């Protein structure tokens, strides 16, 4: 198959939502329809020992939440689909923000009962800023929840989106009868007994036929006709160009747990979703159709296999063909590297691939050469922007709870911090280590993984820090900067890259410091944009 045909076959997207909206369940069902798995594992049900395919870390199975982005790929109707299932929990938002740099489009999952929630608002804002095309999937229609029109209004107002429904529910909760697929002009009827396998619905092309009354009942049929008339009057017609430009968001209704509405979503998605898109680097715009390889690391995962202490760097291919054993330039280190066993993913199952194309995610065994944001090319000096580290919200001293295992502890911390799970700061004054995270749940994950993957134990001590500010002096040699360093000595630390960080105990301290030392700039992200 030619290079351009391979690009046209690719669809790379992320699934985002608030925790518990059913994101991981939707991922499971997409795999089910893609024939990638035969049976879906209930994410929350511990009686079924089969966990969700995309939640493959032990702690995820115990908690029933996703704590790391997982990458899954499958073929559906000759399209190669790459899904990045992201954590919904706000404590892991940074992983999700980074993942959004590697996707070409997004599916936003919303719970019918809870509507638009806070975490969804933040993530959608990032997508809107980046003009990422979005499809909205309103989930759990088999439960009692908000009225369909109320939900559409809420999505428009709270998320600032312009929506158009491409499917519409017939009833809800106990009265949920099925879905009218506006895009495909047919009706699928719901039977609540097809949770684990795929079953075909009944198709109708003409909703004015009296036959419809016989199947879903006269009252439901009348309501559906009225609601569809209202939909055509109130909402704009679907326009693919507007969707691809991020100006119009199609909405689907369904129940992922019951496999309902998922096929409609997938069938429409592969038709309308964008193929791999051009990406901006600091130097120029890279077109996905360029023949020379470019790609960047958007995630690092330590310990994919605890027995081998290995790390995987996840690389999004932006242009060209990634070939096994071909030499590529690691731009930051300015050295050529070859990769003998690049992996393609199916959750934790990996297979070695000989070549990958734009839109694909490749996993590379890494011994510590890669950092998040690194670029690979065939020789050109390029850097992709937009993967900063944010200032953490929580700070704690980390103490070694088992002095005999200090080597394992430092190795574990080193590798986990490379993943971007959290940030490590070392105090200038006494060398004590501080972990900063976006959410408190991260500390549990770090403690758990240190013990179970590295055999090291740690304890924490609270630290009253409000924000980590990266320090950028106008002139490192001037007196003002020297005085700043002397006065603030107790609060200065280095991050993992050796950059100077000021750990401020309040927003008042930050204001005072900035007015007292105007030539010393303080930043809340490590990439000074």
The CATH number given to whatever domain includes residue 516 is 3.30.70.3280
Residue 348 has what pLDDT?
A: 46
The contacts of residue 429 (CB under 8 Å, 6+ apart) are 489, 490, 492
Nearest C-alpha neighbor of 340 from the set 327, 324, 323, 353: 324
Asked if residue 85 belongs to a known ligand binding site, the reply is yes
Whether 335 is in a domain gets the answer: yes
Asked if residue 473 belongs to a known ligand binding site, the reply is no
Asked if residue 19 belongs to a known ligand binding site, the reply is yes
Asked if residue 139 belongs to a known ligand binding site, the reply is yes
Is this model's pTM higher than 0.75 or not? no
Asked if residue 142 belongs to a known ligand binding site, the reply is yes
Asked if residue 22 belongs to a known ligand binding site, the reply is yes
Residue 389 has what pLDDT?
A: 61
Q: Are residues 246 and 341 in the same domain?
A: no
Asked if residue 141 belongs to a known ligand binding site, the reply is yes
3-state secondary structure of 145: coil
Residue 424 pairs in a beta bridge with 435
Q: Which of the residues in the chain have pLDDT under 50?
A: 37-56, 59-61, 63-69, 88-89, 91-92, 194-199, 347-348, 528-529
Q: Are residues 262 and 296 in the same domain?
A: no
Q: Are residues 334 and 407 in the same domain?
A: no
Q: Are residues 30 and 179 in the same domain?
A: yes
Residue 218 has what pLDDT?
A: 78
Asked if residue 160 belongs to a known ligand binding site, the reply is no
Nearest C-alpha neighbor of 372 from the set 432, 434, 301: 301
Residue 63 has what pLDDT?
A: 47
The contacts of residue 297 (CB under 8 Å, 6+ apart) are 313, 314, 315, 370, 371, 372, 373, 374, 375
Per-residue pLDDT of 170-208, as tens digits, reads 877 777 778 888 887 777 777 655 444 444 556 666 667
First to last CA, the chain: 41
Asked if residue 221 belongs to a known ligand binding site, the reply is no
CA–CA separation, 56 and 261 (whole Å): 26
Residue 438 has what pLDDT?
A: 74
Asked if residue 86 belongs to a known ligand binding site, the reply is yes
Residue whose token pair is 């020297």 = 482
Q: Are residues 64 and 152 in the same domain?
A: yes
Report the number of distinct structural domains present in the chain. 3
Residue 43 has what pLDDT?
A: 35
Q: Are residues 252 and 331 in the same domain?
A: no
With 0-12 / 13-18 / 19 or more C-beta atoms within 10 angstroms meaning exposed / middle / buried, residue 1 is exposed
Residue 16 has what pLDDT?
A: 83
Whether 528 is in a domain gets the answer: no
Q: Are residues 210 and 285 in the same domain?
A: no
Asked if residue 23 belongs to a known ligand binding site, the reply is yes
With 0-12 / 13-18 / 19 or more C-beta atoms within 10 angstroms meaning exposed / middle / buried, residue 480 is middle
| Full residue range of the structural domain in which residue 497 is found | 394-523
Asked if residue 439 belongs to a known ligand binding site, the reply is no
Residue 241 has what pLDDT?
A: 93
Asked if residue 89 belongs to a known ligand binding site, the reply is yes
369: CATH: 3.40.50.300
């Amino acid at each position: 198959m030619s290079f351009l045909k391979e690009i046209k076959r690719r669809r790379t997207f992320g699934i985002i939502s608030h925790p518990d909206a059913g994101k991981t369940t939707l991922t499971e069902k997409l795999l089910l329809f893609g024939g990638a798995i035969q049976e879906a594992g209930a994410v929350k049900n511990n009686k079924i020992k089969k966990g969700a395919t995309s939640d493959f870390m032990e702690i995820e199975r115990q908690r029933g939440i996703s704590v790391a982005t997982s990458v899954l790929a499958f073929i559906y109707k000759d399209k190669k689909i790459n899904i990045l299932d992201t954590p919904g929990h706000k404590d892991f938002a940074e992983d999700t923000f980074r993942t959004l740099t590697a996707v070409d489009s997004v599916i936003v999952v919303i719970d019918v009962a809870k509507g638009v929630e806070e975490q969804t608002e933040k993530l959608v804002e990032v997508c809107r800023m980046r003009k990422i095309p979005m499809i909205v999937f309103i989930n759990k229609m088999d439960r009692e929840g908000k009225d369909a029109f109320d939900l559409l209004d809420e999505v428009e107002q709270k998320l600032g989106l312009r929506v158009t429904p491409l499917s519409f529910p017939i009833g809800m909760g106990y009265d949920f009868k099925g879905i009218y697929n506006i895009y495909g002009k047919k009706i699928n009827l719901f039977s609540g007994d097809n949770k684990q396998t795929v079953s075909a619905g009944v198709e109708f092309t003409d909703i004015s036929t009296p036959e419809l009354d016989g199947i879903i009942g006269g009252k439901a049929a009348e309501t559906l006709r009225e609601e569809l008339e209202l939909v055509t009057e109130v909402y704009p017609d679907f326009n693919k160009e507007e969707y691809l430009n991020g100006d119009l968001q199609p909405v689907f209704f369904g129940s992922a747990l019951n496999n309902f509405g998922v096929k409609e979503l997938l069938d429409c998605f592969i038709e309308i979703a964008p193929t791999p898109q051009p990406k901006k680097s600091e130097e120029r715009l890279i077109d996905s159709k360029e023949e020379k390889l470019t790609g960047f690391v958007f995630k690092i995962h330590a310990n994919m296999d605890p027995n081998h202490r290995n790390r995987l760097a996840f690389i999004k291919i932006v242009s060209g063909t990634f070939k096994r054993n071909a030499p590529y330039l690691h731009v930051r280190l300015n050295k050529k590297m070859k990769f003998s066993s690049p992996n393609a993913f199916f959750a934790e199952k990996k297979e070695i691939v000989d070549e990958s194309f734009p839109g694909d995610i490749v996993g590379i065994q890494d011994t510590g050469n890669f950092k998040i944001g690194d670029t690979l090319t065939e020789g050109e000096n390029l850097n992709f922007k937009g993967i900063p580290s944010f200032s953490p919200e929580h700070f704690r001293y980390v103490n070694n709870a088992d002095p005999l295992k200090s080597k394992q502890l430092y190795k574990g911390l080193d590798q986990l911090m490379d993943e971007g799970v959290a940030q490590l700061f070392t105090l200038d004054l006494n060398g004590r280590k501080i972990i900063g995270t976006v959410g408190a749940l991260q500390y549990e994950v770090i403690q758990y993984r240190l013990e179970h993957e590295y055999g090291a134990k740690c304890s924490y001590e609270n630290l009253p820090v409000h924000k980590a500010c990266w320090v950028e002096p106008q002139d490192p040699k001037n007196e003002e900067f020297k005085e700043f360093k002397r006065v603030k000595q107790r609060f200065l630390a280095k991050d993992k890259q050796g950059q100077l960080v000021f750990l401020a105990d309040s927003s008042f301290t930050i204001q005072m410091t900035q007015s007292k030392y105007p030539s010393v700039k303080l930043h809340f992200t490590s990439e000074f944009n």
